Amino acid sequence: MPRPSPPVMTKLLSVYASVVPITVQPVRDGIYYVNGGMANSGFIVADSSVIAIDSQMLAVTAHKVLEAIAGVTPKPVRTIILTHSDPDHVNGLPAYPRGMEIIAQEHTGPQMQEALDNPALNKTSTPAELKYYLPTKTVKDDETVVIDGVTLRLLHIAPAHTDGDLIIYLPSQNVVFAGDILTPDFSNYPGIHLDKHGSSLGWIKTMQALIALNADIYISGHGEPLKRADLESRLTVAIARRAEIERLFAAHKSLGEIKAALNDPAPTGMAKMFPTFTETTYQELTH
C-alpha cells in the first residue's frame, strides 16, 4: 500500500487528534507536562506569564493545550521553547499568539524554514503560517537564562535525535524536558534522524550528559516521565546494540543479515514510518 501524501496524512492525523483527550499532569512547583496529542509538550507557570515547551503537531491539539493552560492559570503564554524541529513538536505553533519569544537550538530554525520551503520534506504538511513562528532566540550549546523569574539551563550536547536537540533543565526543581532524545523507536532503542544530522554516537554522549544532571524527573517527547535509572537502562541497552551492529558490520554482514542476527522485529503501527535504530546505525557506519 502506498504511503499517504503529506496532506492526506495531516488530514488523517487531524481526525485522530480531534478525539484524543489532552491530559495535564503536574510535575512540581508550577511545572506541568501534557500528553495525549501526537507528542508530549509542557508548560511552566512563571511570575506573570507561562513558558510553554513544544507546541504539538496540529492546531486542534495545540488549542486543547492552550485551553488546558487556561484551566490552570490566567497568565498568558509569552515564551515557548522548542526541543527540536520535528513536525509533531513545532507545527502547532500557529495556534499560539504571534509575538512570543521562541527559543530553540541554532539548527532548529533552518530546519523549520527548510520544511516551509519544501512542502514534501516531511510526512505531514507544514502549515504556511509557521513562517511567523521561527525562533527569535537561539542557543548554541549551553546557556542559563532567567525568564520571568524562572531559571532554566538550555543544553545542546551533540547531534543526537537531530542536530538541533535542546535539553531544558530546571535546576531549582531538578526537572528535565528532553524531547525526543528519550523517545525510543518503539523497540527500546533511540530514534535517530539522519536527514537532520542526528547521530547514535552523539545520542550516547547526550544521554551520558542527561544522566550526569542527576535530575529527579525526565520528561520525554513521548510517553511517561522517566527516572535516572530508566535513562541508565536505555543507555546500556543502546550501547550494547550499537556494538553488536558495529561488530557484524565489520564482519561484512549486510543490513538484512544484521537484522536477522539481532532478531530485529519488523516495526508495527506508526513505527513503520521511521527507520529503526539498526537501520540508521548501519547507514552511519557506511559513511
Let me know how long the chain is: 287
pTM of the model: 0.94
Q: What is the pLDDT of residue 1?
A: 43
pLDDT in tens, the chain (287 residues): 456 677 766 766 666 666 678 999 999 999 999 998 889 999 999 999 999 999 999 999 999 999 999 999 999 999 999 999 999 999 999 999 999 999 999 999 999 999 999 977 887 889 999 999 999 999 999 999 999 999 999 999 999 999 999 999 999 999 999 999 998 655 679 999 999 999 999 999 999 999 999 999 999 999 899 999 999 999 999 999 999 999 999 999 999 999 999 998 777 666 677 899 999 999 999 99
Neighbours of 269 (CB within 10 A): 7
Q: What is the pLDDT of residue 183?
A: 80
Residue keyed to cell 522548542? 82
Cα–Cα distance list, 132 to 127, 199, 267 (Å) = 10, 30, 36
Q: What is the pLDDT of residue 124?
A: 81
Q: What is the pLDDT of residue 18?
A: 67
- Give which of 80, 59, 88, 272 is closest to 180, Cα–Cα: 88
Hey, what domains does the chain have and what are their CATH numbers? 6-285 (3.60.15.10)
